[in-house]
């Protein structure tokens, strides 16, 4: 049985624009060079593949989570590229366990809350376009920071970071709102990363370079 692909709302306009543009290019090429069927077929094939990529980029699978106050789930699909104690200088201004997830253009780009609780801080900052794997991207690139406090008092910072290809970060979080583990934080378009800053005593449950899935992989356990 073939599963239906659910498209994220952030992708509707982009998919439509890509479809219209590709149709125009294919029609124009056929009108300008009508006697080149091989070129027409190659262009059509490439157009179908490009459109399929754009559609798949904006896929958003349903991922149900049974909330657990002791577990911290991955906020994004991708690969662990940073896992170390570092100084967080925007909100906590002290040492935290940082885990960073790099999302390639082939990953699902919807971001999810790693814990349930209340949003106590949000901040968007424009920035540069360093590659998302670079340590500089966390503090210099376009980014959006969200802090959630759980019922047991654990504070976790999630930072959406735009990459070299990303053009827009979308964040739905609002200060003061109650959120549930697994609910959507927002979306980052075309290549990026998500940093999560945890209390230093948190017990990690992942290793470097592991592939993780949002609301499926447990990153750490609250001690």
Q: What is the number of residues in the chain?
A: 223
Q: What is the DSSP letter of 219?
A: E
Beta bridge partners of 193: 102, 161
Instruction: Strand 117-125: give its sheet, edge to edge.
Output: 178-179, 117-125, 143-149, 155-162, 192-198, 94-103, 78-88, 211-212
The answer to whether 55 and 7 are in contact (CB under 8 A) is: yes
Active site residues: 192
Q: How far apart are CA 159 and CA 184, in angstroms?
A: 14
- Cα separations in angstroms, 189 against 1, 96, 108, 116, 222: 30, 27, 10, 25, 31
Instruction: Strand 218-221: give its sheet, edge to edge.
Output: 71-73, 218-221, 203-204
The answer to whether 197 and 88 are in contact (CB under 8 A) is: yes
């Amino acid at each position: 049985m073939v599963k239906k692909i659910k498209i994220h709302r952030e992708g509707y306009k982009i998919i439509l624009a890509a479809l219209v543009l590709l149709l125009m290019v294919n029609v124009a090429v056929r009108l300008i060079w009508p006697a080149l069927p091989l070129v027409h077929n190659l262009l059509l094939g490439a157009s179908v593949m490009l459109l399929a990529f754009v559609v798949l980029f904006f896929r958003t699978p349903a991922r149900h989570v049974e909330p657990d106050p002791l577990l911290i789930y991955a906020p994004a699909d991708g690969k662990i590229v940073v896992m170390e104690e570092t100084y967080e200088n925007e909100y906590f201004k002290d040492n935290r366990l940082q885990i960073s997830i790099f999302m390639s253009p082939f990953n699902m780009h919807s971001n999810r809350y790693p814990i349930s609780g209340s949003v106590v801080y949000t901040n968007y900052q424009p920035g540069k376009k360093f590659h998302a794997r670079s340590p500089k991207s966390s503090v210099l690139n376009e980014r959006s920071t969200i802090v959630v406090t759980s019922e047991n008092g654990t504070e976790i910072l999630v930072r959406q970071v735009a990459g070299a290809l990303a053009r827009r970060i979308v964040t739905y979080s609002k200060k003061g709102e109650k959120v549930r583990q697994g609910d959507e934080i927002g979306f980052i378009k075309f290549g990026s990363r998500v940093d999560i800053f945890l209390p230093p005593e948190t017990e990690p449950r992942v290793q470097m370079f592991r592939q993780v899935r949002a609301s499926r992989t447990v990153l750490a356990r609250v001690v």
